[in-house]
């Protein structure tokens, strides 16, 4: 199989699949590679009700449609593919994939995504999608008139707690310290909301319930007092982890491990673009990832076409022979 492509997309979530659609439709020979399941975080979403033009669908249904579009236009999509090596420094980018071979392309789009930071306790995974959520915008309306908790103390926790009061009967903000990291205005807005109460200096010990979350067990950091808080929903906003550890030393990352880009989604390396949740950005939604994928793809198309219009550099042998050619009298 031909190992030469016009653009290689690393990551097959919302941003990567969108990039694949736009690239393939622009007649770019396109390879989309993901180390995990096609769809990324999107496939874990039980129901998406705020995707424009789609009344309601599961994340898996949207992923299936996106993949079908990308492949229908001619993109090759590889899932569960381990990338063994990447060299993005030269004019021809090199991506080596286990059991598939080595691929090259003049342009690469990094759409490696990211994941919400987790607490890391065993019961967290057990109740993910069964009461535990990391996205208020995605899942808030599933908790209409219910008692829920928000875990965290930054701006996201405060803002999302306020937004969740549109649905929930009560919202309890649980924080591990005696003070918030959020800006004062965000804390004040949360404190003014009559539906919100606060539990400070608490560690989460356990999420408990039968088939669905029923309570959150916390322990006071100073007194050791254990409290079981009745809750059918728990929203965690304790940070975000971009999937970029393997890109360290390959492309420039900021102190949080995010990829900085300009407004055309160009990174610090010519021919390398970034899109989606791995990129420096404030809002992380399916729609913002899709927008990123579009911009990165169109920028990559321009880059590849411009590069093709440039005259080829003469080889070392051609330059040598030209330098030895006698001057005509």
Give the count of alpha carbons within 13 A of 116, CB side only. 24
Supply the pLDDT for residue 49: 76
Per-residue pLDDT of the chain (329 residues; tens, 9 = 90+): 569 999 999 999 999 999 999 999 999 999 999 999 999 888 867 677 788 999 888 888 999 999 999 999 999 999 999 999 999 999 999 999 999 999 999 999 999 998 888 999 999 999 998 999 988 877 899 999 999 999 999 988 998 999 999 999 999 999 999 999 999 999 999 999 999 999 999 999 999 999 999 999 999 999 999 999 999 999 999 988 999 999 999 999 999 999 999 999 999 999 999 999 999 998 888 999 999 999 999 999 999 999 999 876 665 555 555 555 554 44
Q: What is the pLDDT of residue 161?
A: 94
Catalytic residue flag (residue 141): no
State residue 132's pLDDT score.
Answer: 95
Question: From the CB of residue 24, how many other CB atoms can be counted at a distance below 10 Å?
Answer: 24
What is the SS3 assignment for 142? helix
Q: Does residue 145 have an active-site annotation?
A: no
Bridge partners (DSSP) of residue 32 are 9, 77
Q: For residues 262 and 236, give the distance between their C-alpha atoms in angstroms, rounded to a whole number.
A: 30
Q: Which of 6, 138, 277, 292 is catalytic?
A: 138
- Please give the CATH architecture assigned to the domain spanning 122-236: 3-Layer(bba) Sandwich (3.50)
Structural domain boundaries in the chain: 7-116+240-309, 122-236
The pTM of this model reads: 0.74
Phi, psi of 98 (to 5 degrees): -60, 135
Query: Is-same-fold flag (7-116+240-309; 122-236)?
Result: yes
User: Annotated catalytic residue: which of 2, 6, 125, 139?
Assistant: 139
Residue 135 falls in the annotated catalytic set: yes
Q: Does the domain made of 7-116+240-309 have the CATH classification 3.30.1330.10?
A: no
Give me the pLDDT at residue 317, please.
Answer: 55
Position 50 scores a pLDDT of 81
CA distance 144 to 133: 14
Q: What is the pLDDT of residue 329?
A: 40
Q: Catalytic residue among 135, 210, 277, 302, which?
A: 135
């Amino acid at each position: 199989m031909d190992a030469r492509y016009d653009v290689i997309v690393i990551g097959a979530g919302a941003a990567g699949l969108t990039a694949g659609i736009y690239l393939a439709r622009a007649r770019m020979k396109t390879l989309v590679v993901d180390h995990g399941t096609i769809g990324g975080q999107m496939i874990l979403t039980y129901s998406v009700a705020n995707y424009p033009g789609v009344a309601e669908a599961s994340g898996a249904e949207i992923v299936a449609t996106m993949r079908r579009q990308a492949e229908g236009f001619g993109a090759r999509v590889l899932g569960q593919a381990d990338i063994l090596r990447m060299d993005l420094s030269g004019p021809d980018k090199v991506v080596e994939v286990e059991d598939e071979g080595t691929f090259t392309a003049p342009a690469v789009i990094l759409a490696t995504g990211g994941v919400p930071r987790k607490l890391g306790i065993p019961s967290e995974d057990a109740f993910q999608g069964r009461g535990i959520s990391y996205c208020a915008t995605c899942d808030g309306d599933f908790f209409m008139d219910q008692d829920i908790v928000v875990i965290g103390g930054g701006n996201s926790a405060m803002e999302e707690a306020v937004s969740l009061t549109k649905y929930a009967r009560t919202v309890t903000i649980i924080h591990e310290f005696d003070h918030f990291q959020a800006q004062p205005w965000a804390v004040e807005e949360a404190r003014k909301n009559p539906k919100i109460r606060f539990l400070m200096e608490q560690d989460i010990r356990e999420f408990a319930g039968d088939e669905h979350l029923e309570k959150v067990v916390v322990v006071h950091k100073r007194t050791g007092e254990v409290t079981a808080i009745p809750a059918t929903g728990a929203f965690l906003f304790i940070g975000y982890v971009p999937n970029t550890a393997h890109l360290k030393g390959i492309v420039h990352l900021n102190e949080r491990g995010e990829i900085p880009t300009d407004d055309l989604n160009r990174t610090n390396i010519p021919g390398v673009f970034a899109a989606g949740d791995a990129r420096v950005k404030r809002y992380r939604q399916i729609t913002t990832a899709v927008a990123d994928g579009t911009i990165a793809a169109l920028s990559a198309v321009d880059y590849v076409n411009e590069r093709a219009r440039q005259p080829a550099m003469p080889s070392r042998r051609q330059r040598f022979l030209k330098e030895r050619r006698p001057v005509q009298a």
